[in-house]
Structures are given as C-alpha cells and as structure tokens.
Structure 1
Amino acid sequence: MSRLFGIIAHPVAHSLSPVMHNAAFQALGMDARFEAFDVPPEQLGSFLQQRTEVEGFSVSLPHKEKVAACLDGVDLIAQQIGAVNTIYHKEGKRWGTNTDAPGFLAALQEVAPDLSGKRVVVLGAGGTARAVVYALKPLVAFITIINRTVPHGVALAKEFGCRYGGKIEDLLTETPDILINATSVGLEENEDFLLVPNGFIKPEVVIFDLVYRHEGATKFLAQAQQAGAKIIDGRRMLLHQGMMQFELWTGQKAPKEVMEKAIF
C-alpha cells in the first residue's frame, strides 16, 4: 500500500509542497504520495483524528500555533518556538517538530552567511515569525518586531527578548540590514497592498519574503529588486525545511536538486 503524506493549511492551493515532495518520492522510486488538505481551523482536531493513515504532515497557516494540542507530543525545538510545522510518527504516536527555523536560517545564510552585528526587522508575529525570531536571536545584534495586532507583537517581542517596533506605518523609523516578511501578505496573486512604502528599501538591505508565488516574484520582492536590494525568494526556505521533513519522514537523504527543480 502506498505511503501517504500531506500538507494541512487553509487555504492550501498556493502550496508547492506536493510538487516538491512528490518529485522526491518519484526520484527515489518510493511508493509514496504527498497530498494537499484544505483544513479550516475549526476542523483541525477532527481531521487529524480521522486521517490516521497519513504518516506525516507539513503544517502551514493558520495551524502552526494550534496543532500541538492535537498531538501526542511536541519536541524541544517546537516547544521553544511555540509552533509546529511538521508532524511525524514515533513509536506509534504523533509528534510535532519545527523545521521552519533551521530551514529559514539555511536559506538566509546562502545570501548572508555572517549575521553578526546585523539589525533585523521581522514583519509578523504568527507561527512562522516565531520560528524566524528563534533562529536569529543567538546570531544577530538586534531584532525588531513589526505587527499590526499590537498585543501579539508585544507578546512575541517580550517572550524572545526583542523590541516591538509598532505597526507597519511605524516601519519608516527603522534602519534594518535584513527585512523579513513573515506575514501572509502577498499570498493572493491579485493582492494590491504594498507591504512597505516605496522608497523605504535601500540597495544595501537583504529582503527575504517567506511568502512565495508559483512563478515569478511577489510584489514585495519585485519592489526590492527595483530598489537594487539583495532578495531571497520564499521558495528557498520551502526547499530547506522540506528537505528536513523528507529525511525525518523517510529516513532517506533528500534529493536536493530534484526538489529544487520541482519548485523553481
């Protein structure tokens, strides 16, 4: 019987995880498939109870901070981050971990290998932002959280010992070396909202948009390219965290080139 894996998110149509993981299964000749499951928040618990045949899940918006309550256990990194992006089986039980943090860091260090002394601004305060802050905190000089919902931004900053810099309109007072979008802005193809004001992005800044498109750049990355900044496509993080998921689920080395070609 074919092994089954999948991603749970809402919405899920934008995800490139199925094409990436299925390409890897095919390349290694594995009898396995990876499916996309659109699961609204109120159905998360019942869905996981019903789909016991699925050996592993990738977890995306909006479930990363809530799914731990539906699992048998959560490992230390996911506990410390406060978010789960990967579900796997261990001794017949469902466990949660987080490959977002190391996957994000691997993608960032392809472009910016030395992070010492860097000032970072993170847009967002959800599950993905938590992983980003967790990964960066020991390595950079300063992290500022910008988030439209003040209590969430303040709470995240306090928990990780960072600074809350206000809402997006307060961004103009910041002078980051690295600017990271960990919000869902840009997920919709026809979205007109400008994440940051024109003229804010300087050529010396590294711009990392964790949101990605199936083809081409998000509006945020296009804006950064016009400004002459270094950019990192969210698919780089998808690749690195996905490779870690694949190896955890299968015990086999992830075929990086195959997975990369599938999503770029």
Structure 2
Amino acid sequence: MNYLFGLIGYPAKHSKSPWIHQHFLDQQSLHGAYQIWETSPEGLKDTLSSMKKLAVDGFNVTVPYKEKVMDYLDEIDPYAEKVGAVNTVLLRDGKWIGYNTDGRGFVRSLQETYPHTRLSEKKALLIGAGGAARGIYAALLEENMQRVDIANRTKERAEALLPLNTSSASSSALSFQEAEDNLAKYDIVIQTTSVGMTPNDTAKPFALNHVKDGAIVADIIYKPFETVLLQEAREKGANILHGHGMLVYQAALAFELWTGTHVEASQLLKEFEQQLKGD
C-alpha cells in the first residue's frame, strides 16, 4: 500500500510534520508520502474537496482550522467532540472521521519522560485557556488527577473551560496573579500559550518564585528549544518537560490511527532535539 498523508493549515510550510511522519513510515517499512496543503481561509473548502478526491488516507489539521474543519467531516470521535477541535482526520470506508491527539500526545510525552509519575495523585496547573489548553485539560481529566486548575490573563476565558470537567477532579479558574501566588500547591505546571515563542523568546507568563521543589514544569513551545520559563524552572529546582515531545507524540498517535501500527518515538525525539538545538 502507498499511503498519502498530509497537513492543512495557514501558515503551514514551516511544519516539522513531514519530517516526523517520514521517519514513522521508514520505521514501519511502509511506503507513502506526507504533503503540506498550506491553505488560506478562502480556499479551505476547495482544498478539502481536492483532498477528498485524492482519497488522502489521513491528514493533520493545524491553526486556524481545528474547529472549522469539523463542519466538513462525516463523523467526529466523541473525545474530539468534547474537546471541540480536530487535529487528525482518518479516511475510513470513504468517510472522514475527526480525532484529537493533541492533549493525549502531551500526556504520553509526560509519561514517557517521567514514567514514575502517578498522575492520579497529582495536582496540575494549566497556564492559558486556548485550544491547546482545552485539549490538554480534557486529557488530564481522563487520568483522574486530584486537581486541574486553569490560569489565564482573562479569568473568564479560563472559566469557560470548566464545563469540560465531568471527572472527579477538582477544578477552578485563576488569574495569573492568583496562580503565581499559589504555585507551591501544584505538582505539574503546564504552559500552553505562545508567550515565549520565537521571536519573542524573552517573555514568560509569570515568575516561578513559588514553584514547588521537584515539580514538573512543562512548556508546549518547542522554538526555542528551552524557553525562559523552563530555564527559570530548572534554576528553581523543578523538573522540566520540553515542548517537542508533545509534537512528536501527538503525531505518533495520529500515525497509529492512520496505519494501525505502534511506533517508537523515543529515538526520533533525540534526533528532533538535536535538530532544534542546531536551529
């Protein structure tokens, strides 16, 4: 079988997804290609129509289409429906089925990096309330954590995510100041905003003066490889989790959906790290 996978987004040409998925194809000795469809908003409908005619086996969706693409799908996985966004589409029996692997990709990255961490015993803080936070929030709630709080610059936006919580975990919305003041209560802190991303790589949401010793601080940004937030976390005695892991593991989950195989991502993570450090 000769697979055809791809990515739709705008902008999208900078994406590392072709490199990642080519590695997965090679690892599984599968034949195929991964193509980027960089599509402006006015061209979305036509591009998706062309992709359907090509019978693309599966594709990823990035900004700004993770919500808009749902209108064009035949079915949506219940988890993706709950999250309210799709980042992975599978062609099955002529139908497009939407999934979301973002949040679960983050959790897999966390568990692979810190395998002895029992999430059911932990309290987490999410920084940000956008699409990435939404997916990670839903995935963390699946792990039956004790508490998952959400901090955002505008507290109302954080409050809007709370109805996603149908688990036994406690959840509340916080301002950035409230989160900063109460940081010592959290075992895991996850930065999900674009604050600190290249070229504005000297910025951070707030200081980590009260971070718990030994806590895990994660940043989903992967350019720069180590954000100023992660640098500060390391200096304060916290454990850190780089953003490239989420990118690789959400891609791995998508690839597994498309092909029915299980990929090993650990070696690819090391290669990706070297590439990012080189950039």
Report the TM range for the smaller structure's normalisation: 0.7 to 0.9
1:59 aligns with 2:56: no
Say if 1:27 and 1:258, in contact at 8 Å, map to a contact too.
no
Q: Which amino acid aligns with 1:144?
A: D
**2:276 maps to which residue?**
none
Q: Which amino acid aligns with 1:104?
A: F
Say if 2:158 and 2:173, in contact at 8 Å, map to a contact too.
yes
C-alpha change, 1:55 and 1:224, in structure 2 (3 Å) is: same
1:3 aligns with 2:3: yes
C-alpha change, 1:19 and 1:72, in structure 2 (3 Å) is: same
**2:77 maps to which residue?**
75
TM-aligned CA deviation for residue 200 of structure 1: 4.3
Q: d(CA) in 2 for partners of 1:44 and 1:149?
A: 31
TM-aligned CA deviation for residue 146 of structure 1: 1.3
1:159 aligns with 2:168: no
Q: d(CA) in 2 for partners of 1:155 and 1:143?
A: 14
Question: How many equivalent residue pairs?
Answer: 262
Q: Which amino acid aligns with 1:129?
A: A
Q: Deviations over 1:11-33 (max 9, x none)?
A: 33553222111122234443312
C-alpha change, 1:239 and 1:42, in structure 2 (3 Å) is: same
- The secondary structure found in structure 1 opposite 2:180 is helix
Q: Which amino acid aligns with 2:204?
A: L
Q: TM-score, normalised by structure 2?
A: 0.82
Q: Deviations over 1:114-162 (max 9, x none)?
A: 1233221111222221221112224211111112344432211233263
Say if 1:23 and 1:262, in contact at 8 Å, map to a contact too.
no
- What does residue range 86-235 of structure 1 map to in structure 2 within 5 Å? 86-110=88-112, 111=114, 113-138=117-142, 139-160=144-165, 162-166=171-175, 168-175=176-183, 176-197=186-207, 199-213=209-223, 216-235=225-244
The one of 231, 239, 255 aligned to 2:248: 239
Say if 1:207 and 1:231, in contact at 8 Å, map to a contact too.
yes
- The secondary structure found in structure 1 opposite 2:45 is helix
- The secondary structure found in structure 2 opposite 1:89 is strand
Q: d(CA) in 1 for partners of 2:17 and 2:39?
A: 16
Say if 2:37 and 2:47, in contact at 8 Å, map to a contact too.
no
- The secondary structure found in structure 1 opposite 2:121 is coil
C-alpha change, 1:95 and 1:149, in structure 2 (3 Å) is: farther
**1:252 maps to which residue?**
261
Q: d(CA) in 2 for partners of 1:133 and 1:66?
A: 21
Q: d(CA) in 1 for partners of 2:119 and 2:126?
A: 15
Higher mean displacement: 239-248 or 32-41: 32-41
TM-aligned CA deviation for residue 2 of structure 1: 5.3
Q: d(CA) in 2 for partners of 1:6 and 1:187?
A: 25
Higher mean displacement: 246-255 or 6-15: 6-15
Q: d(CA) in 1 for partners of 2:91 and 2:190?
A: 32
RMSD: 2.5
Q: Which amino acid aligns with 1:165?
A: L
Identical positions, percent? 34
- The secondary structure found in structure 1 opposite 2:225 is coil
Q: d(CA) in 1 for partners of 2:40 and 2:205?
A: 26
C-alpha change, 1:133 and 1:13, in structure 2 (3 Å) is: same
Q: Which amino acid aligns with 2:131?
A: G
Q: TM-score, normalised by structure 1?
A: 0.86
Q: Deviations over 1:209-232 (max 9, x none)?
A: 11212x731232222222221011
Q: Which amino acid aligns with 2:213?
A: P
Q: d(CA) in 2 for partners of 1:172 and 1:212?
A: 23
**Gaps in structure 2 of 5+ consecutive residues:** 274-279
Q: Which amino acid aligns with 1:73?
A: E
TM-aligned CA deviation for residue 262 of structure 1: 4.1
Q: d(CA) in 1 for partners of 2:20 and 2:151?
A: 31
